[in-house]
Amino acid sequence: MTHSARATRALQALTERDPALAALALWCQHRDTEGLAVPAETTGTVIRYGPGFTALPAHEQMGLAGHHILHVALQHSDRMAGMAARMGDGFAPDLWQIASDSIVNEAILQSGHALPRPALTLSRLLAALNEQGGLADWDCERLYRRMADTPEGAGRARRQAQEDGQKPDLRPGGGDSGGQGADKGGQGQAEWRAHLARAMAAGAAAGFGLGTLGRRMADLPAPRIPWEVILRRLLARATLHRPEPAPLRPSRAWLAGAGRALQTSAPLPPFQPRTRWQGAVPRIVLGLDCSASVSDDGLRLLLAEVQAIALRAQASLHLLTFDEGLHHDMALDPATARATLRGLDLPQGGGTDFRPVIARATELAPSALVILSDMDGPMGPRPRFPVIWAAPQPDPKPAPFGHVLSLAA
């Protein structure tokens, strides 16, 4: 495949107008294609330019090329594919497109470039959502969840995008994307962090263009382990069958040593008990805080992960719903847990007290307790089993014990 002829002039102009974007453009694949409904689109590291791109003025061509270069550099296509894989049928690709376009457009305009008007920007989108902040405060994942968590937020975002003439120009990365992020995993992410660091340094040294934003973009890729992976590790460790001593039965090594001692009239070796694998079935207790502001997506993702661990470890599941006291105390079949949870009549509002749910969990002797909550309430003393706090907010406050996970990560 040959390099794009349609984008050549704009990419050449970037070498003088924006050293950071010009450097990043070298790591992208630029292709011409026919039949595009938009002037250009991005998949993985491939930017495709349609006939509509050449109809734009030169300054808008340069800004639009920068728009797609940033989509590639920030790995929006591969991150879109990753979010879709995590959320399944609950994923809204148009909201991801809105989030990524608004961030990229804001960065391009603040870098001194032009875009075809009207253009959806982060400042206009946040105003529609009644939110504060800017590029330093919002990344794509956080912005997506803010819109997707409520029908009102999604509706406002879609109306603003329609008003600003936003059109889909981003496709999820995959095996045919030519990308290096989703296909190469952590190695691809590390490469793009290095590319961005060098490009931004060159731009900052020049004193104009994208480099003037410095590190003030929250959406710059950073090492991040999805909370699902962390939860999986913690629960797998907690439900692992471990050997325990059987003090009334000697080990085979001791029997062999004792036999030799008797044959040679030597002293008996120190007693060594036999070990046996734990016979009890591991149990995971799921505590659901009815007063927490937890989105349906967060609850669905958390339950799916807990179900998967319970099935793999052949563990039993037990559900406790609570606010200031317990409301439901029931065993769950891992295979039907999601349907059972959907049918529960959960109270709304009220305060939160974690002491009753931890006390009841102690009676159940679990391998681990997973509490889905915003963590605002008295917690009592540390229990003897592992506790995993799953919080919906991006930056949950620390807990006096247990491991805190953010479902917004």
Q: What CATH number does residue 341 fall under?
A: 3.40.50.410
Do both 174 and 304 map to the same domain? Answer: no
Residues in the chain: 409
* Rg for the chain, CA atoms, rounded: 28
Q: What is the pTM of this model?
A: 0.68
Candidate from 77-81, 249-253, 377-381 with smallest mean pLDDT: 249-253
Neighbouring-strand partners of residue 154:
none
Q: Are 39 and 52 in contact (CB under 8 A)?
A: yes
Q: Which residues contact 188 (CB under 8 A, 6 or more apart)?
A: 75, 78, 179, 180, 181, 182
pLDDT in tens, 95-149: 999 999 999 999 999 999 999 988 999 999 999 999 999 999 899 988 998 898 8
Q: At residue 374, what is the residue type?
A: D
Instruction: Quote the number of domains for the chain.
Output: 3
pLDDT in tens, 307-353: 777 777 677 888 888 888 888 898 888 777 777 777 777 666 667 88
Neighbouring-strand partners of residue 320:
287, 329
**Residue position matching structure tokens 């927490």:** 292
Six token digits for residue 34: 């026919």
Q: Count the helices and strands in the chain (H runs, E runs).
A: 15, 12
Do both 191 and 265 map to the same domain? Answer: no
Q: What is the mean pLDDT of the chain?
A: 84
Q: Residue 2 falls within a domain, yes or no?
A: no
Do both 168 and 57 map to the same domain? Answer: yes
- Give SS3 for 321: strand
The yes-or-no verdict on residue 233 having pLDDT over 90 is: no
- pLDDT for res 278: 56
Give exposure, 121-146, as e/b (b: 16+ Cβ within 10 Å): bbebbbebbeeeeebeebbbbbbbbb
**Would residue 35 be called left, alpha or beta, if left means φ above 0 and alpha means ψ between -120 and 50 degrees?**
left
Do both 200 and 71 map to the same domain? Answer: yes
Do both 130 and 272 map to the same domain? Answer: no
Do both 261 and 146 map to the same domain? Answer: no
Q: Residue 230 falls within a domain, yes or no?
A: no
Cβ neighbourhood burial of 360 (10 Å; 0-12, 13-18, 19+): middle
Q: Residue 398 falls within a domain, yes or no?
A: yes
Strands 283-289 and 316-322: parallel
Q: Residue 71 falls within a domain, yes or no?
A: yes
Q: Are 238 and 282 in contact (CB under 8 A)?
A: yes
Q: What distance lies between CA 192 and its chain's CA centroid?
A: 18
Query: What distance in Å separates the CA atoms of residue 369 and residue 353, rounded to the nearest whole number?
Result: 15
Do both 170 and 68 map to the same domain? Answer: yes
Q: Residue 238 falls within a domain, yes or no?
A: no
- pLDDT for res 276: 65
Q: What is the DSSP string of 25-45?
A: HTTSEEEE-S--SSSEEEETT
Neighbouring-strand partners of residue 274:
246
Q: Can you give the residue range of the structural domain that contains 362? A: 283-406
Do both 294 and 394 map to the same domain? Answer: yes
Query: What distance in Å separates the CA atoms of residue 93 and residue 77, rounded to the nearest whole number?
Result: 11
Q: Residue 190 falls within a domain, yes or no?
A: yes
Q: At residue 234, what is the residue type?
A: L
- Give SS3 for 225: coil
Neighbouring-strand partners of residue 40:
49
Do both 48 and 100 map to the same domain? Answer: yes
Q: Residue 326 falls within a domain, yes or no?
A: yes
- pLDDT for res 185: 43
Among residues 277, 296, 323, the one where a domain terminates is 277
Candidate from 28-37, 245-254, 357-366, 368-377 with smallest mean pLDDT: 245-254
Do both 18 and 152 map to the same domain? Answer: yes
Do both 179 and 40 map to the same domain? Answer: yes
Q: Residue 33 falls within a domain, yes or no?
A: yes
- To 5 degrees, how large is the angle CA 73–CA 74–CA 76? 115
Maximum C-alpha span of the chain: 101
Q: At residue 398, what is the residue type?
A: P
The yes-or-no verdict on residue 203 having pLDDT over 70 is: yes
Six token digits for residue 195: 């590319």
Do both 264 and 295 map to the same domain? Answer: no
